[in-house]
A and B are shown apart, each in its own frame.
Chain A
C-alpha cells in the first residue's frame, strides 16, 4: 500500500484483557519497528524485525508484550493481561533498509486500559 496501516485506530481494554495490534507495512519494506508513545513523551523503541526475524526486542517492557511477523510482512503486537500503564499510542514504522534513511510511520493505535 501507499503507507503504513495500523488497526485498530483506537482500542479500549479492561485491565487484564489481552489485546492484539496490527501493522501493515509498506510493501517491500524489510524492516519493521514498533514504538510506544506515552502521553506527552517521544516514541520509545519496543522491537525490530528484519523480514520475519525479530532481531531486537530489548525495548519490550515485560514478558506480557509479544510481537511477531511470521511471513515478513504484516506484524502483530500482542499485550497480555493489560495494565493501566500500558495505555499509550503504539506506533509501527517500516523502512526499505535498516532505517537509516528514515522510517515511514503509521498513524498508530491508541490503547486505553480502564
Chain B
C-alpha cells in the first residue's frame, strides 16, 4: 500500500535560517511526488512536483526538493526562510486517481 510519512509534526526556525522538511514514502514503482503548502483557512497550494529526470526540483517561493530513491525520501528545503513561510506543509504521492498525503509538518518562523 502507498503511504507517506512526515516524521516532524512541528518545526520552529528563525527567520533567515535554512529549512528542511522530511518526507518518506512507501510505493512500489517510481512515484509521482508533490509538496503542498496550506496557510490557515486556505486550500492547498502546489509548491513543486517530481515525476522523473533530474532528482533536484525547483518550486515556487524559493523552495526545492530532492528525490532520493535509495532513501525513499523527498525532502523539502529552503536556504533562507521568510516569516511568510509559516504554514502547514504536506508531502503527497499520487497513484492512479488518488493523492496520498502525509499528516503534515507545521512550520513556525520566529523573528
Contacts and interface: CB of A to CB of B under 8 A. Distances in A.
B42 interface: yes
A43 interface: yes
B67 to A, nearest CB: 15
Contacts of A104: 46
A101 B46 CA distance: 10
Contact residues on B (Cβ < 8 Å of other chain), bracket = 20 to 34
A100 B90 contact: no
B49 A42 contact: no
Tell me the dominant secondary structure on chain A's binding face. Answer: loop
B46 A102 contact: yes
A84 to B, nearest CB: 21
A65 interface: no
Interface string A95-111: 00011111111111000
